[in-house]
Chain A
Amino acid sequence: MIETQAGKEAAVAAASDISPVPAIELDGVVKEYQAHGEVVQAVKGVSLAITEGEFFSMLGPSGCGKTTTMRMIAGFEDPTRGTVRLHGQDVTDVPPNKRDVNMVFQSYALFPHMNVWENVAFGLRRKRVPDQEIKRRVGEMLEIVALTGREKRRPREMSGGQQQRVALARALVNNPRALLLDEPLGALDLKLRQAMQIELKRIQREVGITFVYVTHDQNEALTMSDRIAVMNDGLVEQLAGPREIYERPATKFVAGFIGTSNLLSGTAEAVSGGTATIRVGDRDRVLVPVADGTLEGGAVEVTVRPEKIRISHEEPGADLSAVRGTVAEVVYLGTYNSYAVNLAGGAEFTVFEQNARDSSITAERGDSVWLSWQPQHSYAIGS
């Protein structure tokens, strides 16, 4: 437990530092492959800095370059261009066995011919740590991942969740400067995955090590991360905390990839006091906060989350965004109702209504309804 305490203190010290050296820094990293005589860019130029002690996620669909980016941090791929720095040191040309980071693989990649204890001790043995210390550290780590008493088991004799924890222990026992996790929960079923998410977060807090987490599961990223880099097509689309990613998606892709989003495009008719008004019909209007300098008559794309929208039969107040539409579908989902509403302008909106009062629903299929929301709940986004 001594290292974990030290780790925590180091994290606190790094956080209170005025300009801390980032744990991991990528500078204009590009990865190109030769495929069928053509050059394919898997990563098209990623620059980011991951702070010491942070739980950092790289989120995106498969093929977005997130795993390639992680493998360049671990040293399994050489960047075509750009620099990888660990704690300020350029490690771009350092082989993986000389880098002070450890990785948890999607397939766990446990050594099948070794038992749990030998698996976990592998890294320490390579560093020629004294036997006595290996014994102590492996024992402590197995306690943290709740596997004490299973030291003699072979990986194939264990459940997926247990193998997962062995993989975690095998990496963490080396006390790395950063732990890289490549979709580590992908092979587990939903219940176990949710339990492991909380478990991972607890372990990360306990050991205070920087976690870099690759996933395509937005819920996983939102649940665990301090910051998220949303990636698409080899580029980082947005890098921010979970709340900001969800509430203020920077691009159309982020809005669509994280949660459900309603998109509306139109022309800014009046811009005043940082708010643009978009006319949709004679009484329909969308009020949206915009950046200074947005011109009247410019094209604007607006996004609004389904749970921010209120559905009603009466016309809402003039201070709200309000659009009319016809209910195309109503789905009862237990904790909430989901409405699909076709707007007069052709767009289709999804509205979630919390099932708070009783099980009756506000509108039936075919009803003409008003949808309204606070102006600050919608955002003008770049495309």
Chain B
Amino acid sequence: MSGPLSPALPPQAVADEVTPSVGPLRRRRVRWGDRLLFGYTWVVLLWLFAPIAVMIAFGFNDTKSKSNVSWQGFTFKWWGRLGDYPDLTTAVTNSLSIALLATLVTTVLGTLMGIALGRYRFRGQAATNLVMFAAISSPELVMGASLLSLFISLGVQTGYMTIVLAHVLFSVSFVAVTVRARVVGLDGSIEEAARDLGASTWITFWRVTFPMILPGVVSGALLAFALSIDDFVITQFTSGATITFPLWIYGAVRIGVPPQVNILGTLIFAVGVAIAVVNTVTSRRRT
């Protein structure tokens, strides 16, 4: 389930995988090792993209039955009937708004954490790093279950806001880590130069520091969005009566997933790819 929806990330992986095959193509004599690598690269790419291709294709399947699993001909008709399931539309809207809200909060918090961890030495720093690592590495099942018991023992009604809280919780570490890496790599004298040239600390941050860490902030935000929009396990524990896109699909599996799901998945995937491509291109131009 996470397959079709998570590929907001792979475009970078794609770029890395394809590059080695360019060299051998240019050279006249292709050695055996290069051929092997070339072939292997394409096998890996195929392996990664086959499920996505199937997902996209079945959005155009002229299926007659409830289950959309065997190819029965090409059609555009499902695109016109996207809104056939009002509760599916609500679920997608929920997923998108939760992902956007969680990404916003996560990016702000994670960026501040990343700057603090990368720049300063302070009491509790080691503990913060440990907690962050724990949040990244702990199984979703454990985190989901413990969040549910926490919300219950606090008497908090689970629903939309608890999903947002949970998503912020498990993705903030990813943003903090990416931003921290960027901050650690910065030459501190660049900010001193800004101060030296008459910029206050506030102006120095917005005109110099922030533009320099922006690629890290953007990658962190994309990561947070990708993690949030297709999360199932933790969302299942913390959702209460609220239904998100992955939860709706899970519920529909028993009676058959309609082609509308494939189309919505395709759209989210396309937007994710577009954002990732734009980020790669602009960050290459930036530095």
Contacts and interface: CB of A to CB of B under 8 A. Distances in A.
Interface of A: 74, 76, 95-98, 102-103, 105-107, 109-113, 122-123, 126-127, 156, 170-171, 174
B212 A113 contact: yes
A127 B197 CA distance: 9
B193 A103 contact: yes
A106 B203 CA distance: 23
The 7 closest A-B pairs by CB, nearest first: A123-B197, A126-B198, A109-B193, A109-B189, A113-B211, A105-B189, A109-B190
A110 B212 CA distance: 12
Interface string B164-191: 0000000000000000000000010110
B286 interface: yes
B193 A126 contact: no
A122 B189 CA distance: 15
Nearest to A180: B196
10 contacts: A95-B195, A97-B197, A110-B190, A110-B193, A113-B211, A113-B212, A113-B287, A122-B199, A126-B199, A170-B197
Contacts of B194: 111, 122
Nearest to B215: A113
Contact of A111 (B190, B196, B200, B203): B190
A98 B196 CA distance: 8
B196 A74 contact: yes
Contact of A107 (B189, B196, B208): B189
A369 B106 CA distance: 81
A127 to B, nearest CB: 6
Contact of B196 (A102, A110, A113): A102
B87 interface: no
A106 to B, nearest CB: 8
B192 interface: yes
Contacts of B286: 113
How many B residues are at the interface, by size bracket?
10 to 19
B196 A96 contact: yes
B209 to A, nearest CB: 10
Interface of B: 187, 189-190, 192-200, 203, 207-208, 211-212, 286-287
Contacts of B203: 126
B196 A103 contact: yes
A85 to B, nearest CB: 18
Given A76-B192, A109-B190, A110-B190, A127 B287 contact: no
Contacts of B190: 109-112
Contacts of B212: 112-113
Given A97-B200, A111-B208, 15 more contacts: A76-B192, A95-B195, A96-B192, A97-B196, A98-B198, A109-B192, A109-B193, A110-B190, A110-B193, A113-B211, A113-B287, A122-B194, A122-B199, A127-B198, A170-B193
A111 B287 CA distance: 10
Nearest to A99: B196
Contacts of B200: 97
Given A123-B198, A127-B198, A105 B193 contact: yes
Kindly name the residue among B198, B199, B208, B211 whose own CB sees the greatest number of chain A CB atoms within 10 A: B198
Contacts of B189: 105-107, 109
B196 to A, nearest CB: 5
B193 to A, nearest CB: 4
A357 B224 CA distance: 78
A234 B212 CA distance: 35
Nearest to A96: B195
Nearest to A74: B196
Given A109-B190, A111-B190, A126 B197 contact: yes
A110 B211 CA distance: 13
A97 B211 contact: no
Contacts of A105: 189, 192-193
A113 B206 CA distance: 12
A214 to B, nearest CB: 14
A55 to B, nearest CB: 20
Given A109-B192, A113-B211, A126-B203, A102 B197 contact: yes
A110 B192 CA distance: 11
Q: Which of B187, B192, B193 counts the most A-chain CB atoms under 10 A from its CB?
A: B193
